[in-house]
């Protein structure tokens, strides 16, 4: 069984607040923020840096190239956020290339908190005290190098926000999604029945619901075997595990 979904508010700490809402202003998630069913609260980290220069970064102790995000602005920001939050469930996430890989299971876990604070790293990273004292969890969105945590935060917000009740319509229901079923989706066709020299498979136009289901299952398996054999290994394991439960 999946856990209860409580998520309502996303607070983003960044030195580039102008990057938001960006893509989060569009589609079903953009609508949820516009209607205030969800809240996207983007804060400029510089607001908590010392005047007059409001410097958020500094050189790394021990030497080496690159700058590090200073701890004080981040500590002040998170303290302020905690103080304004009634004692409900708050979870502080650092987007960092060294974090645990973000996936659909992680999105479900995050959706179980009422308020998420997403800290966007920049430069070479953040002062280690931030990780040790401020952050509940570090997440990466994959093994490639970005220039900072902002795009990663957007990915995490979108994937988590769409799990909130009513964000995604019934037609595109989140319940039976391919990654959670560990199989890729089967092919989809719409009109016209013949296009670019390719015909829609006859079975899909036949109206035989059982045959359609069986064709889709096979097509999903074929596609998964070709594109994501790693998923198929997991699906088989889960299938075996379920059979094992009945013994
Ligand atoms: C040579 C060490 N680099 C770590 C791989 C330094 C470094 C590179 C890129 C430090 C920070 C960054 C900026 N990236 C992020 O802040 C980031 C990120 C990413 O680069 N890839 C995937 N997920 C994420 S989440 C945050």
CATH classification of the domain holding 122: 3.40.1280.10
Which residues of the chain have a pLDDT value below 50? 246-247
Q: Which atom of ligand 1 is nearest to the CA of 153?
A: 25
138 and 213 in one domain? Answer: no
Which residue's alpha carbon is nearest to atom 2 within ligand 1?
124
144 and 110 in one domain? Answer: yes
pTM (whole model) above 0.75? yes
Q: Is the CB of 148 under 6 A from ligand 1?
A: yes
From the CA of 42, how far away is ligand 1's center (Å)? Answer: 21
Question: 13: which strand partners?
Answer: 43, 119
144 and 47 in one domain? Answer: yes
Pocket test for ligand 1, best of 97, 119, 135, 147 (most atoms within 8 A of CB): 97
What's residue 246's pLDDT? 44
Task: Decide which of 161, 186, 201 is a domain's last residue.
Answer: 161
205 and 86 in one domain? Answer: no
Contact criterion met (CB below 8 Å) for 22 and 154: yes
- Per the domain annotation, does 172 fall within a domain? no
What's residue 234's pLDDT? 75
Q: Is the CB of 145 under 6 A from ligand 1?
A: yes
139 and 76 in one domain? Answer: yes
Cβ burial of 94 (10 Å; 0-12, 13-18, 19+) is buried
| The total number of structural domains that make up the chain | 2
Task: Decide which of 114, 129, 161 is a domain's last residue.
Answer: 161
What's residue 237's pLDDT? 65
- Per the domain annotation, does 156 fall within a domain? yes
- Containing domain of residue 61, as a range? 9-161
């Amino acid at each position: 069984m999946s856990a209860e979904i409580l998520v309502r508010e996303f607070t983003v700490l960044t030195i580039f607040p102008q990057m938001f809402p960006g893509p989060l202003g569009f589609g079903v998630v953009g609508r949820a923020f516009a209607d205030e069913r969800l809240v996207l609260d983007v804060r400029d980290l510089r607001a908590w840096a010392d005047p007059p220069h409001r410097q958020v970064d500094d050189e790394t102790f021990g030497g080496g190239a690159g700058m590090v995000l200073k701890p004080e602005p981040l500590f002040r920001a998170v303290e302020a956020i905690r103080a304004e939050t009634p004692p409900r469930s708050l979870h502080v996430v650092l987007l960092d290339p060294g974090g645990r890989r973000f996936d659909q299971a992680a999105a479900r876990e995050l959706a179980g908190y009422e308020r998420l604070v997403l800290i966007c790293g920049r430069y070479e990273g953040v002062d280690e005290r931030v990780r040790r004292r401020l952050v509940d969890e570090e997440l990466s969105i994959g093994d490639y190098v970005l220039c900072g945590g902002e795009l990663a935060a957007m990915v995490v917000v979108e994937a988590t926000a769409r799990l909130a009740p009513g964000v995604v319509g019934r037609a595109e229901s989140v319940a039976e999604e391919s990654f959670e079923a560990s199989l890729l989706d089967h092919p989809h066709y719409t009109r016209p029945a013949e296009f670019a020299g390719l015909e829609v498979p006859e079975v899909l136009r036949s109206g035989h619901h059982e045959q359609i289901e069986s064709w889709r299952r096979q097509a999903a398996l074929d596609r998964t075997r070709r594109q994501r054999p790693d998923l198929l290994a997991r699906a088989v394991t889960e299938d075996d595990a379920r059979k094992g439960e009945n013994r």
